[in-house]
Each structure stands twice: as structure tokens, then as C-alpha cells.
Amino acid sequence: MSAFKTLDDLGDVAGKVALVRVDLNLPMQDGLVTDATRIRAAVPTINDLCAKGAKVLLLAHFGRPKGERHSQMSLSMVVGAVEKVLGKEVMFVPEITGDVVAQTVGILKGGDVAILENTRFWKGEEANDPELARAIAANADFYVNDAFSAAHRAHATTEGLAHVLPAYAGRSMQAELEALDKALGAPVKPVAAVVGGAKVSSKLDVLKHLVTQVDHLMIGGGMANTFLAAKGVDVGKSLCEHDLLDTATDILANAEASGCTVHLPYEVVVSKEFAANPGSLRTCNVHEVAPDEMILDAGPLAVEALADALKTCRTLVWNGPLGAFEMEPFDAATVSLARTAAALTIEGTLTSVAGGGDTVSALNHAGVAEDFSYISTAGGAFLEWMEGKELPGVAALSA
């Protein structure tokens, strides 16, 4: 991991102005914030800067206004929710550059917080216009990026600002980068990766990268069917991307060449209908799937084999459920392996990092999210990191 500065590297910033890029792209319903997780993620950085006496200007995007003002996407809507989490008053500024921001900076005292308007109201944000970055920077002394979830985008407030102001990683960004580094950057070996979910096509680059990085690749979910089919298994009515069989074969060959052991389920849970607790439910060997059946989960013996392999590993990175976990009993494999990973983490033999929208809900469903070493809620940025890509927002911090 290339070096980046953190808030520990800040000198005396009392009275100085910090531009802090955070993730305030909050889920809302009827004008109210329904989940404050992303606000809470920004609190350590905000509190740290306030304690140091800095004036904090929060920058964030909200929705997809495509370079125009839309009152229903104004960040003024989240001010109340941020005040509630921070436990103090927060000013709102309907601009991101110019005199209005300058006047606000004049009014703010050290330790005060203001939210600037939705950065995506300005076309220069997504275009990463250096003019816009300079104009935003003109009202501040330094830049802190605490939005890992937006770091895969090279936008003015996620990347450009790092080139025009002294740049620092915020506390959440720092925690995420340190956790991801432990999982794939410089992991303790052997390393296992669990990759599941619906389709190979959505995670092709993840799979291609991981076979060169990990010792054990455990493929589950719908995407395992494509690999099984590539190996000549008849997967019946299962979700399967038949146009990707050659790609799957290539990935398996690359894994072999890299010394990566690929685990595919040899025992599966099948049913004739895509429904909870169906009458046609049964568990069988992968070679015994009937033409009118579909594979909806890995079987208990297959999961036991995965658990045994995991016990030999020191690091785990997990994206994607092993089965159609939203419906019982097709959550069983995911829940079982997640509990094994959690137990090994608690014992101290395993560093476990997981991410992905459905993966996070599956781990919550299994009741083990708290027990993993680190859970990323960054979505797209997490996947791009699993693809081995350099994230522009992170690269700019390290420059």
C-alpha cells in the first residue's frame, strides 16, 4: 500500500478550514433519512477535526442530479439527520464555491461544522474539472477524503481536490484501506476468497484477479453453476451463463497455473421452483441434478469441505452469498460458512474481510457481521478494489 497521510499527520489546524469529502448519499423516504450508517461513519473524522479546532466544511454528492440543481436532491435535506448524529448545530451552505462559502467560513468558529450543497449540482464535479477543484479549494486550507465508497470515481471532490490542497485520509478511509490491505494487499497466507452471487458476468474481473492472488478460491452461488457447466456438469434449470463457459474454463486454467485451488460445490441443494421451502426440495450430488431442477444452495457436505479448507487459512476475503439466501432454506450454506469464519476470527486465527450489498445483508442475517474483522459497505469501490484496480481517490491521496 502506498503511503498516505492521516489526521495524525496534521499540524496545528486551529482556525484552519478543512474540506472533508464524506458519503452522505443517504437512503431517504418521505423526506426522512432511513439509515444513518453513513453519517455515523463520518463522525470520527468530524469529531477529530473539531477537537483540533478546525472549521469543517462537509462535501458530498446526493443522488444523480447530472450537473443541475434539483431541490429534491439538495443536501439541505440531510442537515437535521447529521445534527442529530453529531449532537450539535450544523450550518447549510447552498453553494460549494465563491463568496457565500467565504462568508460562512468567516462566521464559523473553530470546531464548527457546515454542509455544502450537493457537489453533483455542478457539471465540473463528475468531469473532474480542475477549475472547479481550484474554486472549491480557494476557501479552504486542507482536504480530507473520508469517502472510500466514492474513491473509484475520479471526480473533483473525490480526486481533483487532492492535487490542489494538502490531502489526508479521514478515519473511515484509513480504517478501510488498512483492512483491505490486510486482506489482499499484504495478507498473511494462506488466503481464501469466497466469491458468490448470481452471475459470473458481474464478477469476471474479480475472479480473474483473485486466482492470481489467493490460495483458495471458493466459488458459490449462481456463478458456480457456470463453472460446473464448464466442467461438463448438467446443471438442469439452474441459473447458468452458457455463453461464458469458455471464460470459466480460462479462469480455471489460470487458477491452476497460479497454484490457486478452486473449490466448487460437489453437493448441492436443488428444487423445481424458486420459492421458500418448496415441496421439491432435495440435496444431491452435483452429477444428479435433474433437467427440471435448479441449484439454489451448496449442500452441507460441500460447506463442511469449505470450512475445513478455511481452517487452514489465515486470511479471508468474501464477496457474494453461496446460495439464494433471501429464501429459506437456501440461506443455510452462507450462514454456516459465515459462522465458521466468525468463529475462526474470534479465535484469532483468521483475518476476515467482507463486502458487497447482498453479502452484508447475508452476514447480518447470519448474525455475524460484528464478528468479522472488517465489513465494507462501499459497494462499487469495494468490488473495484477486489478487481485489483487502483482507485483514483486513493491514488491521489498517496501521490
Annotated catalytic residues are: 38, 199, 357, 380
Partner whose binding site includes residue 150, from Mg ion, ligand ADP, none (CB under 5 to 8 Å by kind): none
Partner whose binding site includes residue 214, from ligand ADP, Mg ion, none (CB under 5 to 8 Å by kind): none
Helices (H), the chain: 37-51, 79-86, 98-107, 123-126, 130-137, 161-164, 171-180, 204-210, 221-230, 245-258, 300-311, 332-347, 357-366, 380-386, 392-398
Partner whose binding site includes residue 344, from Mg ion, ligand ADP, none (CB under 5 to 8 Å by kind): none
Least Cβ distance, residue 298 to ligand ADP (angstroms): 9
* Gap between the Cα atoms of 360 and 355, Å rounded: 6
The 3-state DSSP class for residue 270 equals strand
For 102, list phi and psi in degrees, rounded to 5: -60, -40
Per CB under 6 A, residues contacting ligand ADP are 196-198, 202, 221-222, 239, 295-296, 319-321, 323-324, 326, 356-359
346-375: which residues touch Mg ion (CB under 5 A)?
A: 357-358
Least Cβ distance, residue 320 to ligand ADP (angstroms): 4
Nearer to ligand ADP, 140 or 268 (CB): 268
Least Cβ distance, residue 326 to ligand ADP (angstroms): 5
Of 381, 313, 379, nearest in space to 341 by CA: 313
Nearer to ligand ADP, 48 or 267 (CB): 267
Cα 152–Cα 155–Cα 159 angle in degrees, nearest 5: 75
Of 48, 277, 358, nearest in space to 174 by CA: 48
Nearer to ligand ADP, 114 or 337 (CB): 337
Instruction: Tally the C-alpha atoms within 13 A of residue 327's C-alpha that lie toward its C-beta.
Output: 14
Cis amide linkage into residue 329, ω under 30° from 0:
yes
Nearer to ligand ADP, 167 or 381 (CB): 381
The footprint of Mg ion on this chain (CB under 5 A) covers a number of residues equal to 2
Partner whose binding site includes residue 324, from ligand ADP, Mg ion, none (CB under 5 to 8 Å by kind): ligand ADP
Interacting residues toward Mg ion by CB under 5 A: 357-358
